[in-house]
Amino acid sequence: MFAALRMTAAGFLMLAGLIGLGACGGGGGGGASAGTPSQPPPTGGGPTWTAGVYPAASTFKNRCEVVRTGVDIEGNGFPDVQGTGVDERFWLRSWTNETYLWNTEVEDRNPASFSTRRDYFAVLRTTARTASGKDKDDFHFSEATTDYVARRNAAPRATYGAVITSLSSTPPRDFRVRYTEPGSPASTVLAGQPNLVRGSRILRLNGIDLVNANTQSEIDALNAALSPSAAGVATVFQVQDPGASAPRTVTLTSVSLSPTAVNRTAVIDGGGGSKVGYVLFNTFSPFASEQQIYQAIVDMRAQGVSDLVLDLRYNGGGLLAVASQLSYMVAGPARTTGRDFERLRFNAAAGNRNPVTGQTNSPVPFYTTGLGFTLNNSVSLPSLNLGRVFVLSTGSTCSASEAVINGLRGIGVEVVLIGDKTCGKPFGFYPQDNCGETYYTIQFQGVNHIGFGDYADGFIPDNSTASFGVRLPGCQVSDDLTRELGDPSERMLQAALGFRASRACPSLPSAGTLGVPDAASVSRTPGISLELPSPGVMDDNRDMTMPPGR
């Protein structure tokens, strides 16, 4: 089911979990099959549609065609009462009118003219486009609530602890290690050699040629090896490291492991006695992210850094509250006191009320203490008191990561962007269950202290050739798989340090000369595609881009 929710920007994932060879079909799960809206059966005594008149959504809430009984896996009972499919669609209509950000751009259609809740939900969105021509709303879908709840309760998955990216999924395939998780089998060092390093190309798994295999049985075996079903599965990897003349072989045994939010930190000599902090922050999602980013900044402060490079290139977002805490810790009290990190802009009809919670629409402040996720709320946050921060970015830099950029800009902190265009998601939502289906529809836009939030085409470095996007000082630089993250010679970090020194974008060698072949330049023959699985819980890429057709 979740494979159907695959995200277009997600080209990598924890080397674990489900491999989705050809598993990219349509919807399913929870709703009736999609189809063309058809004429409804007589509605009897059910609700009737009057164009432009919207009864309160609460009128129809939990009135279900199929009533759930018992409790869910969290032990909570279901609120369902007997209703009809038409009731469910009327709820969708009113709920959209009440909470959808662009509710006035949704054509009012008779719910009884559609045959399923999914059909109907699919049209409850704007069809407008951004300046660049992409859909204004490219995150609008639903899934079975059982899947939604199961995923958030999932145990850590079996993994080797390497995040893999696919440069080519058809022969000759090119699968590379993007980074490894600290304390994992992949990052374990034996005789001075980490089992896997950033940029390692996977050549064989258990003796099977990953690069050229082209039979279904081989693909199945590769899938099984890439996605251990449990901890304790041993797999033989043949890999070639960047710059190495010969491959090497390592055996990794899978473990159950959750991704680490702060993957690594470093303090780099900035010249003239100055120190530059580096933090690879990969996700705002797990509650542990609060404590981990706190500890990272404590360490940076203790070491006296005067500049900070925040590596958010793989950070798809998560908890906005932690994004606020991080921003406070960068900027400090003098710049944040009395200012808002982010204000939530709901539809106009909501006024000063959050139409989802019913409460007053209060801004997200710059939090100055722990909030109780994993840091006690009696703990005061440290701050670096910086007027400038360097952010390393790619298209996977999304949502809460972009909120940090925007929130800091809103209080006058200079954000220098090094890398590529961010994904452009100033929007958010509250997933909402009704009758066993969980709906995602955009409900708010985040804007900063000065009211800016129009970055749906992303933030881009100033020298980018892109036509659209909000330009920030900085340099367009592609990701560099030939150097470890945090290595001052890794191209994006190198560019940040160079820009810091000269306010100019340094001339850097291309990827090809640094050892990663240009996948697009390699001759290819048609063959079976080996697809990396969809990201699992909290892996990465909370990019809200949905695949075409969803």
Partner 1 sequence: MIRLTALCLASLAMAACMTAQPAPARLDEMTPASREALSRALAQAVGRASVQLGPLDLTREPAISVLPPQPGPLEGASLAMPELFELVVMDARCYVRRNSDRKLFPVEGLTCRPIS
Distance CA 455, CA 437 (A): 30
Nearer to partner 1, 184 or 401 (CB): 401
The pair of three-digit structure tokens given for residue 431, joined into one six-digit string: 């997933």
**Closer by beta carbon to partner 1, 91 or else 444:** 444
Stretch that binds partner 1, among 55-63, 170-178, 195-203, 422-430 (CB under 8 A): 422-430
Euclidean distance between CA atoms 468 and 455, whole angstroms = 9
- Check binding of 76 to partner 1 (CB under 8 A): yes
> Nearer to partner 1 by C-beta: 410 or 446?
446
Q: From residue 500, how far is each of 187, 279, 285, 409, 475 by CA, in Å?
A: 31, 16, 30, 18, 11
Q: How far is CA 47 from CA 57, 69, 83, 109, 124, in A?
A: 12, 25, 11, 14, 18
**What whole-number distance in Å separates Cα of residue 546 and Cα of residue 9?**
9
Residue 50 binds partner 1 (CB under 8 A): no
Residue 248 token pair: 């090497």
By CB under 8 A, which span of 95-103, 207-215, 318-326, 471-479 interacts with partner 1? 318-326
Within 93-112, which residues bind partner 1 (CB under 8 A)? none
Cβ-contact 429, 443 below 8 angstroms: yes
**408 Cβ contact partners less than 8 Å away, ≥ 6 residues apart:** 327, 330, 331, 389, 415
Nearer to partner 1, 100 or 427 (CB): 427
Stretch that binds partner 1, among 59-67, 368-376, 477-485, 509-517 (CB under 8 A): 368-376
Structure tokens at 129: 């486009």
Among residues 63, 198, 425, 483, which is the contact residue for partner 1, using CB under 8 A? 425
Binders of partner 1 among residues 438 to 477 (CB under 8 A) are 440, 446
Under the binding rule (CB under 8 A), the answer on residue 403 touching partner 1 is yes
Residue 353 sits in the site that holds partner 1 (CB under 8 A) = no
- Shortest reach from residue 541's CB to partner 1, in Å: 8
Write out the two tokens for 485. Answer: 């993250």
Of 20, 85, 318, 410, the residue at the interface with partner 1 (CB under 8 A) is 318
Which window, 54-62, 93-101, 150-158, 300-308, contacts partner 1 (CB under 8 A)?
A: 150-158
DSSP code of 443? Answer: -
CB 265, min distance to partner 1, A: 22
User: Which parts of 195-234 interact with partner 1 (CB under 8 A)?
Assistant: none
Q: Which of 85, 185, 316, 355 binds partner 1 (CB under 8 A)?
A: 316
Give 180 or 438: the residue with its C-beta nearer to partner 1. Answer: 438
Give me the phi and psi of 152, to 5 degrees please. -75, -10
**Residue from 49, 54, 78, 287 that binds partner 1 (CB under 8 A)?**
287
Q: How many residues bind partner 1 (CB under 8 A)?
A: 52
Tell me how far apart the alpha carbons of residues 407 and 328 are, in angstroms, rounded to a whole number: 10
Enumerate residues 6+ apart whose C-beta is below 8 A from 404. Answer: 310, 312, 323, 326, 327, 391
Interacting residue with partner 1 among 54, 373, 452, 468 (CB under 8 A): 373
User: In angstroms, what is the minimal distance from the CB of 74 to partner 1?
Assistant: 6
Among 282, 399, 406, 434, binds partner 1 (CB under 8 A): 399
Q: How far is the CB of 285 from partner 1 (least distance, A)?
A: 6
For residue 30, the 8-state DSSP code is S
User: Which of 80, 59, 126, 41 is CA-nearest to residue 437?
Assistant: 80
Rounded to 10°, the helix 400-409/320-331 angle is 40
Cis ω on the peptide bond leading into residue 431 (within 30° of 0)? Answer: no
Instruction: Out of 427, 439, 455, 499, point to the residue binding partner 1 (CB under 8 A).
Output: 427
**Applying CB under 8 A, which part among 107-115, 227-235, 497-505, 530-538 lies near partner 1?**
530-538
List, in sequence order, every beta strand (DSSP E) within 41-127.
63-64, 81-82
Distances (CA, A) of 264 to 261, 423, 477: 9, 23, 21
Minimum distance, C-beta of residue 514 to partner 1, in the bound complex (Å): 31
Q: Residue 293 or 508: which CB sits closer to partner 1?
A: 293
Binding site for partner 1 (CB under 8 A): 5, 7, 71, 74-77, 148, 151-153, 285-287, 291, 316-321, 344, 364, 370-378, 398-400, 403, 425, 427-431, 440, 446, 535-539, 542-544
